Amino acid sequence: MTLFDAQVGARLRVIQIAGGRGVRARLFAMGLNPGDYIRIIQIAPFRGTFFIENLSNGSKFAIGRGIARKIIVEYA
């Protein structure tokens, strides 16, 4: 499943980041890597932006919906 379809608040594990080199390199460098545990803190209203936390180091990100569709996760 992708982050886009995951439940808000659930503990998730990043399996893979699909998508172009640009997107992947950006997420990697900002500290979102396969194997990391993350959770969706909230999703902005009206099909809005994702606000997520990387539970491995406490860093937080705003992530667009398009990007959320490229992050493949599983419940952990």
Partner 1 sequence: MPEKKLKIVLIGQPNCGKSTLFNHLVGFKARISNLPGTTVQIERGEFKRGGKLFEIIDLPGIYSLTQGDEAENRTLKFLLEEDYDLMVNILDASMLSRGLELTLQLLKLGKPMVLVLNMVDEANRKGIHIDVKKLEKILNIPVIPAIASRGIGIKELFDVIENSNFKTSCFLKDLPGNILKEVQKIKTILSECIAHKSECTLFFFATKILGGEMAPWDVISEERCLDRINTQISESRRVFEKEFSMEPEDVIHALRHHTAMTIAEKVVTFKRKKSYSIDERIDQIVMHPFLGYIVMAFVYLGLFYLVFKIGSMVEGYFTKPFELLYSQKTGLAFSLWNSFIDGLSGGIGIVFPYLLPLMFFISLLEDIGYIPRAAYLMDTIMHRFGLHGKSVVPLLLGYGCNVPAITATRIIEEERNRILTALLVPFIPCSARLTVLLAISNKFLGPLFAVGVLLINLLVVGIVGKLLTLLKKEDSPGIVLEIPSYRTPSLKITLSKTWLHAKEFLFIAWPMLIAGSMVLGAIQFYGIEQIINSILYPFTSGLLGLPDKVGVTLLFGILRKELTLIMLQTAMGTPLSGLKNVMSNAQLATFVVFSVFYIPCIATLAAIYREFNKKVMFYSILLSTTVATILALLTRLLYSWL
Residues near partner 1 (CB under 8 A) are 19-31, 33-34, 41-49, 51, 56-68, 70
Closest distance of CB 1 from partner 1, Å: 19
Closest distance of CB 57 from partner 1, Å: 5
CA end-to-end distance (rounded Å), the chain: 12
Phi-psi region of 58 (alpha: psi -120 to 50; beta: other; left: phi over 0): left
Which one, 60 or 76, has the nearer CB to partner 1?
60
Closest distance of CB 73 from partner 1, Å: 16
Q: Is the separation of the CB atoms in 49 and 62 below 8 Å?
A: yes
